[in-house]
């Protein structure tokens, strides 16, 4: 069983966030590390663009984008965190579970009940671990405006060759990466599939193959990735590999 979890606390009330952080600090089974707090959905998404967390403790009623809408957004992340709703309004429980929340806590939250919810999160993460272990250990290093940043392979949606550099795209943003597409394909071929001479896509995010017209290449095909709006062209040579992946191949 996972012994320590990371958490993001999202609630528009400062006192509610403080109380939740205090409860999390008292948790022992599993132990908790609070990596951030957010007073709104926008702040939560900004944090999650920089930091991967295990669980989001999420209030429902917030100004702007509410907790239910944020939970729907979180499902699109490459490494989507577990969601546990925390609210005073028990009538939203059914809808919460429709959004794949792992649990639903009503305020005031008791420590024992919180630990039960977090144990459920730990079991859920453990069940996904055999599939994710090979991804979690890998990173790509980005040099961005004088700052060095490591991007987990689990967050990469695609890699695309653009003239003299590579574009690395996550669901949240794009980066410029030095390197060779062929070398990355050779090293991480189990995680990424070449769909074109200039593009590798994350196998786990491939959702659809569709007809597509490109001004330079004419009629053809494009692949759709979960969480990414733009389609990516598929060459005729790579078309069988994409179809195999979508029909259950690896």
pTM: 0.53
Identify the domain containing residue 234 by its residue range: 139-246
Q: What is the pLDDT of residue 101?
A: 80
Cβ proximity of 193 and 203 under 8 Å: yes
Contacts of 127 (CB under 8 A, 6+ apart): none
- Looking at the fold, whether 127 and 173 belong to one and the same domain comes out as no
Task: Output the furthest CA–CA distance in the chain (Å, rounded).
Answer: 61
Same domain (yes/no): 11, 124 = yes
Is residue 168 within 8 A of residue 179, CB to CB? The reply is no
Q: Are residue 29 and residue 147 in the same domain, yes or no?
A: no
160 and 231 housed in the same domain: yes
Q: Are both 61 and 80 inside the same structural domain?
A: yes
Domain boundary among 115, 135, 155: 135
Q: Are residues 124 and 190 in the same domain?
A: no
Residues 86, 129 share a domain:
yes
- Same-domain pairing of 79 and 104: yes
Give 71-75's long-range contacts (Cβ < 8 A, gap of 24+). Answer: 71/96, 71/99, 71/100, 71/101, 72/99, 73/41, 73/45, 74/48, 75/99, 75/100
For residue 26, the domain's CATH number is 3.40.50.2300
In the chain, how many domains are there?
2
- Same structural domain for residues 225 and 241? yes
Residue-wise pLDDT for 179-214, tens only, equals 889 989 988 888 899 999 999 999 989 999 999 887
Predicted pLDDT of residue 100: 67
Question: Final residue of a domain: which of 89, 112, 135?
Answer: 135
130 in the same domain as 19: yes
> Are 128 and 150 within one domain?
no
pLDDT digits over 74-130, tens only? Answer: 988 878 899 999 988 766 554 555 566 888 898 899 999 999 999 989 888 876 654
Asked which of 79, 114, 135 is the last residue of a domain, the reply is 135
pLDDT surpassing 70 at residue 1: no
Do 151 and 198 reside in the same domain of the chain? yes
């Amino acid at each position: 069983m996972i012994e320590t979890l990371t958490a993001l606390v999202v609630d528009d009330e400062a006192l509610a966030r403080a109380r939740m952080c205090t409860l999390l600090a008292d948790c022992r089974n599993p132990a908790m590390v609070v990596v951030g707090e957010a007073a709104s959905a926008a702040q939560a998404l900004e944090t999650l663009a920089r930091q991967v967390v295990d669980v989001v403790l999420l209030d429902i009623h917030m100004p702007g984008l509410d907790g239910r809408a944020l939970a729907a957004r979180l499902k699109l992340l490459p490494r989507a965190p577990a969601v546990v709703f925390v609210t005073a309004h028990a009538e939203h429980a059914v809808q919460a579970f429709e959004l794949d929340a792992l649990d639903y806590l009503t305020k005031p939250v008791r420590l024992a009940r919180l630990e039960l919810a977090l144990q459920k999160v730990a079991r859920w993460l453990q069940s996904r671990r055999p599939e994710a272990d090979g991804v979690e250990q890998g990173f790509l290093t980005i040099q961005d405006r004088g700052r060095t940043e490591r991007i987990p392979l689990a967050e990469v949606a695609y890699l695309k060759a653009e003239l003299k550099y590579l574009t690395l795209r996550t669901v949240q943003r794009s980066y410029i990466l030095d390197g060779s597409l062929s070398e990355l394909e050779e090293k991480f071929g189990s995680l990424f599939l070449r769909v074109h001479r200039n593009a590798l896509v994350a196998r786990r995010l491939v959702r659809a193959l569709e007809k597509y017209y490109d001004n330079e290449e004419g009629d053809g095909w494009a692949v759709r990735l979960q969480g990414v709006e733009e389609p990516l062209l598929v060459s005729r040579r790579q078309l069988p590999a994409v179809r195999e992946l979508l029909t259950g191949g690896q």
